């Protein structure tokens, strides 16, 4: 990765004629601005010159098609999805042995609080940072930060130190999806943007991977749940687990940094006034895929100072401050108001915010303490060994994988669609949690939680689809940002509730189950059903 950008690619002789007609090509590019579909961001949030050039780059990527480079990108960006689900699961998996070793009582949720704060900071900071210093650096550093602080956490001498390291690794984790999704979308052709949804399979694998590795390590090197004393030497399993997962993150970072050569996003380069480098990147992708592109720097520069879409000789401000301003523009009051432009759209936006917020509270409230709950209830049943606890966690993770895939089938069913599927499986998620509290044996408890794992994965699969489908194209970025922020903020509230709850009771499970059921009924009130209809 010693080179920041690919070397300029010489224009073959057979392309000279195309360059001679650059004026005609430029005019065609300008006309395409008016023929293009509505942009993702609202009108005025981006410089009109930038928008015109973005359309030209989009067309060039579309002409190249989906090839070797994009499929490699599918794998390395998938590492970010894996990390996004893996690390919240990690804190849940180590929760019980950490509570035992440090004799925390009800103070254990402080670790989850630190994690959720780190995730919120990371999502915001890396999203802005990727527009200031580039996608490439943000992409390459997030997994490195996660791995380094996870290794440090494995050697934490106290619970306070562990919580700090959890917060710091979460800052790295929080930046994966905002950065990786931007990179992936900016390199793939529009005809293959559905692959962004397919990337969620890595999300399911993250939970499964964490559970599989935790099972032998924590079960063989941890104090039993019923132990009255638990020393560090008797409880090294969670530390070995963090060392392993931190090392894995550094391996994945190494693959990204040393093996796969990620070049800067062409749209980012163009947005900073580096048109030649943007063209070079597009040509590199074409060459890697075994194709050719007729894109030239003149195609982009011919749009500078034009009157495209009311540009009035405007030039794109390429300063870092302007990049930040463009990023924050999606959240100004004018763009937020557009999500409430009509009564029906306003009602939909409000309900989606509420649903995302409630699930953002209920999901971590349960997942953060499920291992502790399984262990404590298993002890009541006489089979609460650490081995059985983590074996059951692996089973729950396996059940979740088909749930993520089945969501795509349920949403196309007549009379049910997205709205009905979201409602049914959100309610069922809460029902299974309530039912789990009635279990009188370890097998019954496992069975109810398997139902929860399946239904919750279907629920999340639908939730990630229905929100962008309902929001109008021009306001989709703003809408997605608002619901995601509500989700993270309420996620911070989950450990605060747990701090005031007896973790040895079923109270956190009851609270979480009730919230899921309420969210499920609210989903029925959404006025739009996207099934069989094109998004606006």
Q: pLDDT tens for residues 237-279?
A: 999 999 999 999 999 999 998 999 888 888 778 877 788 888 9
Euclidean distance between CA atoms 451 and 403, whole angstroms: 10
pLDDT of residue 373: 63
As a whole number of Å, the end-to-end CA separation of the chain is 41
Last residue of a domain, which of 273, 300, 330?
330
Per the domain annotation, does 2 fall within a domain? no
Last residue of a domain, which of 234, 259, 284?
259
Same domain, 292 and 365: no
Per the domain annotation, does 1 fall within a domain? no
Euclidean distance between CA atoms 145 and 142, whole angstroms: 5
512 within 8 A of 360, measured Cβ to Cβ? no
Per the domain annotation, does 305 fall within a domain? yes
Same domain, 95 and 179: yes
Task: Label residue 12 exposed, middle or buried (CB < 10 Å: 0-12, 13-18, 19+).
Answer: exposed
Per the domain annotation, does 485 fall within a domain? yes
Domain that holds residue 214: 67-259
pLDDT of residue 535: 39
Per the domain annotation, does 10 fall within a domain? no
pLDDT of residue 252: 94
pLDDT of residue 493: 81
DSSP collapsed to 3 states, 224-273: CCCCCCCCCCCCCHHHHHHHHHHHHHHHHHHHHHHHCCCCCCHHHHHHCC
Sign of the alpha-carbon torsion through 345, 346, 350, 356: positive
Same domain, 439 and 512: yes
Same domain, 208 and 108: yes
Buried b (16+ CB within 10 A) or exposed e, 384-408: bbbebbbebbbbbbebbbebbebbe
Measuring CA to CA, how many Å separate 87 from each of 291, 362, 381, 396, 480?
A: 39, 18, 30, 17, 23
Quote the DSSP letter at residue 474.
G
Q: How many C-beta atoms lie closer than 10 Å to residue 242's C-beta?
A: 26
Same domain, 402 and 489: yes
Write down how long the chain is. 536
Same domain, 301 and 400: no
pLDDT of residue 29: 38
Same domain, 367 and 299: no
Q: Write the CB contacts of 444 (distance below 8 Å, at least 6 apart in sequence).
A: none
- In DSSP notation, 313-375 reads T-----SHHHHHHHHHGGGSHHHHHHTTSSHHHHHHHHHHHHHHHHHHHHHHHHHTTHHHHHH
Number of domains in the chain: 3
pLDDT of residue 322: 61
Place of tokens 């103070």: 107
Quote the DSSP letter at residue 8.
P
Per the domain annotation, does 215 fall within a domain? yes
Same domain, 481 and 424: yes
pLDDT of residue 80: 86
Same domain, 336 and 371: yes
Please give the average pLDDT of every successive group of 10 residues along the chain, which has 536 residues: 42 43 41 38 52 81 88 90 85 86 78 86 72 75 93 93 94 79 77 67 82 86 77 89 96 92 82 84 90 86 59 48 57 63 83 91 74 58 64 80 74 79 92 82 81 85 73 59 78 74 67 92 86 47
Per the domain annotation, does 280 fall within a domain? yes
C-alpha dihedral over 503, 507, 512, 515, to 10 degrees? -150
pLDDT of residue 166: 94
Q: Write the CB contacts of 187 (distance below 8 Å, at least 6 apart in sequence).
A: 61, 69, 70, 73, 265, 285
Residue in 192, 247, 204 with CA at minimum distance from that of residue 73: 192
Same domain, 45 and 73: no
pLDDT of residue 40: 31
Same domain, 441 and 512: yes
Same domain, 199 and 161: yes
The Cα diameter of the chain in Å comes to 83
171 within 8 A of 115, measured Cβ to Cβ? no
Last residue of a domain, which of 330, 357, 375?
330
Domain with residue 394: its CATH number is 1.20.1250.20
pLDDT of residue 128: 64
pLDDT of residue 7: 42
Per the domain annotation, does 42 fall within a domain? yes
Residue in 79, 111, 107, 80 with CA at minimum distance from that of residue 93: 111
pLDDT of residue 527: 84
Tokens of 393: 């966690």
């Amino acid at each position: 990765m010693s080179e920041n950008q690919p070397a300029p690619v010489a224009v073959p002789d057979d392309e000279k004629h195309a360059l001679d007609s650059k004026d005609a090509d430029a005019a065609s590019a300008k006309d395409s601005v008016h023929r293009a579909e509505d942009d993702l961001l609202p009108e005025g949030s981006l410089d009109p010159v930038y928008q015109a050039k973005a359309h030209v780059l989009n067309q060039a990527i579309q002409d190249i098609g989906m090839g070797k480079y994009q499929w490699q990108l599918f794998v390395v960006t998938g590492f970010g999805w894996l990390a996004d689900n893996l690390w919240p699961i990690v804190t849940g998996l180590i929760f019980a042995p950490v509570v035992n070793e440090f004799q925390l009582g009800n103070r254990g949720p402080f670790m989850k609080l630190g994690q959720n704060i780190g995730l919120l900071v990371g999502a915001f900071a890396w999203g802005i940072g990727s527009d200031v210093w580039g996608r490439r650096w943000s992409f390459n550093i997030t997994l490195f930060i996660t791995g380094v602080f996870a290794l440090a956490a494995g050697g934490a001498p106290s619970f306070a130190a562990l919580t700090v390291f959890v917060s710091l690794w979460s800052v790295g984790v929080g930046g994966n999806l905002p950065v990786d999704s931007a990179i992936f979308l900016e390199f793939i052709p529009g005809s293959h943007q559905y692959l962004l949804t397919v990337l969620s399979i890595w999300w399911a694998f993250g939970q499964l991977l964490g559970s599989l590795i935790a099972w032998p390590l924590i079960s063989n090197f941890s104090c039993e749940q019923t132990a009255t004393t638990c020393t560090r030497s008797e409880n090294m399993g969670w530390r070995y687990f963090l060392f392993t997962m931190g090392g894995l993150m550094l391996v994945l970072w190494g693959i990204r940094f040393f093996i796969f050569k990620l070049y800067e996003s062409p749209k980012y380069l163009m947005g900073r006034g580096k048109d030649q480098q943007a063209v070079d990147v597009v040509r590199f992708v074409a060459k890697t895929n075994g194709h050719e592109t007729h894109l030239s720097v003149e195609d982009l520069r011919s749009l500078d100072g034009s009157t495209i879409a009311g540009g009035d000789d405007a030039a794109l401000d390429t300063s870092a401050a302007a990049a930040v301003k463009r990023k924050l523009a999606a959240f100004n009051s004018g763009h937020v108001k557009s999500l409430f432009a009509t009564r029906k759209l306003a009602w939909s936006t409000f309900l989606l915010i509420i649903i995302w917020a409630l699930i953002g509270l209920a999901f971590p409230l349960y997942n953060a303490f499920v291992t502790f709950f399984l262990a404590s209830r298993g002890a009541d049943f006489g089979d609460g060994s650490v081995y059985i606890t983590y074996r059951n966690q692996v089973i729950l993770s396996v059940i979740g994988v088909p749930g993520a895939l089945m969501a795509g089938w349920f949403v196309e069913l007549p009379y049910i669609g997205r709205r009905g599927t979201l409602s049914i499986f959100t309610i069922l998620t809460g029902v299974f949690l309530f039912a789990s509290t009635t279990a009188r044996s370890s097998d019954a408890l496992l069975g109810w939680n398997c139902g929860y794992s399946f239904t919750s994965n279907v629920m999340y699969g639908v939730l990630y689809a229905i929100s962008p489908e309902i929001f109008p194209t021009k306001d989709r970025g703003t809408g997605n940002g608002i619901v995601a922020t509500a989700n993270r903020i309420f996620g911070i509230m989950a450990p605060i509730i747990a701090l005031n709850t007896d973790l040895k009771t079923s109270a956190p499970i009851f609270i979480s189950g009730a919230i899921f059921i309420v969210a499920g009924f609210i989903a029925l009130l959404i006025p739009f059903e996207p099934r069989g209809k094109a998004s606006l």
